[in-house]
Amino acid sequence: MKDAKKILQEHGFVLKKKFGQNFITNDTVLMEIVNQAQIQPDDRVIEIGPGAGALTAKLAIAAKSVTAIEIDSTLQPVLEETLQDYKNVELIFADILKWDLKKYLEQKYPAENMKVVANLPYYITTPIIMKLLEEKLPLQSITIMVQKEVADRMQAQPGGKDYGALTLAIAYYAKAKIVMTVPPHIFLPPPKVMSAVIHLQLKQSSRQQSKMAVLPEAVNSNFNLSEKQEKWLFQVIGAAFEQRRKTLLNALANKGIADKEQIRQALGTIDLPENIRGERLSLEDFIQLSKLLAKN
Ligand code: SAM
């Protein structure tokens, strides 16, 4: 493969901070991301933000095909050069947050379960992850480089400072594991923070399977919640953590989730003390609580 750094220089490409362009310059790290994503020769991969194509090229060698979605169309000549030897790469210039990935997958790969691999732009890490999870795409796994601090929040345990709405959203849809921590100097330019690669293995029924095995419409997750119940669960979780220093009772009542007496009763039913804070509740606790507080 042609050296991405050299090609960037030849094209006089100036990296754009506004797009979170911190490119990986270390070959060992790139290989390790591909290893941790457990890419097999039959896998179809989606990459978000190929940049100069360094990770894309490694993925193209390991996988059957790569669909790479990049917002910055001025990278087109660079990518065409770095990836000229790889015929199994499809480049799409679009904003991943606006682009209809679901429709693309339905039309192009109706019978496949995909793997997402990316060194994400840090300014929109959470919206990208939430899009991938909430749209119930046919994904097997998501392996992404993110800020270390965000990775810690994704796999936190109840009770700690990192535990919150993001942790619970991830736990609902996937099993998360930090597989690698990386220092700033492997990026061009180096970011101010430590980074980590996190692997999310999607739960069997929290993703739409390929067309062959579509789930019954109302059932969206391992927890057998309807779409309405799922939305309500995340409203309850959102309210609990918006004022995380308050007791759960006050936080939920202040946000109008239910009146105090109802919340007291619901907490009692699931054997939780009245003065508990949201950060102490597991996902299963929140599911039970949200069912008890459901408005008909
Ligand atoms: N994959 C390359 C690497 O590892 O060296 C580049 C990673 S860089 C951290 C993030 C990439 O995402 C940049 O190329 C940036 O232009 C692109 N990007 C930023 N916002 C995006 C968006 N909304 N949709 C698609 N790509 C985006």
Q: For residue 4, what pLDDT is reported?
A: 73
DSSP 96: T
For ligand 1, atom 10: residue with the closest CA: 121
Strand, coil or helix: what is 261? helix
Q: For residue 231, what pLDDT is reported?
A: 94
CATH superfamily of 219-294: rRNA adenine dimethylase, C-terminal domain (1.10.8.100)
Q: For residue 124, what pLDDT is reported?
A: 97
> 119 CA distance to ligand 1 centroid (A)?
7
pLDDT tens for 160-180 read: 999 999 999 999 999 999 999
CATH 1.10.8.100 domain locations along the chain: 219-294
**Which ligand 1 atom minimizes the distance to the CA of 128?**
23
> 122 CA distance to ligand 1 centroid (A)?
9
pLDDT band, residue 5 (cuts 50/70/90): confident
Distance in angstroms (rounded) separating the CA atoms of residues 227 and 222: 13
Query: Of 194, 54, 211, 171, which is closest to residue 117 (Cα–Cα)?
Result: 54
What's the mean per-residue pLDDT of the chain?
A: 92
Query: CB of 293 within 8 A of CB of 253?
Result: no
CATH 3.40.50.150 domain locations along the chain: 4-210
> Is the per-residue pLDDT at 58 higher than 50?
yes
CATH code reported for the domain at 4-210: 3.40.50.150
Q: For residue 213, what pLDDT is reported?
A: 42
Residue 213 class from Cβ within 10 Å (0-12 exposed, 13-18 middle, 19+ buried)?
exposed
Query: CB of 196 within 8 A of CB of 177?
Result: no
Distance in angstroms (rounded) separating the CA atoms of residues 248 and 231: 19
> 162 CA distance to ligand 1 centroid (A)?
26
For ligand 1, atom 12: residue with the closest CA: 49
Which helix or strand (DSSP H or E) is residue 167 part of? helix 165-173
Pocket test for ligand 1, best of 7, 15, 21 (most atoms within 8 A of CB): 21
**Which ligand 1 atom minimizes the distance to the CA of 96?**
24
For ligand 1, atom 17: residue with the closest CA: 49
pLDDT tens for 234-247 read: 999 999 999 888 99
Least confident piece of the model among 39-43, 62-66, 131-135, 210-214:
210-214
Residue 70 Cβ < 6 Å to ligand 1 = yes
Greatest Cα pair distance, the chain, in angstroms, is 68
Average pLDDT over residues 120-135: 96
Q: Residue for token digits 């597991």?
A: 282
Query: Of 130, 131, 151, which is closest to residue 36 (Cα–Cα)?
Result: 151
pLDDT band, residue 7 (cuts 50/70/90): confident
In the chain, pLDDT over 70 holds for what percent of residues?
93
Q: 220 or 137: whose pLDDT is higher?
A: 137
Distance in angstroms (rounded) separating the CA atoms of residues 194 and 42: 33
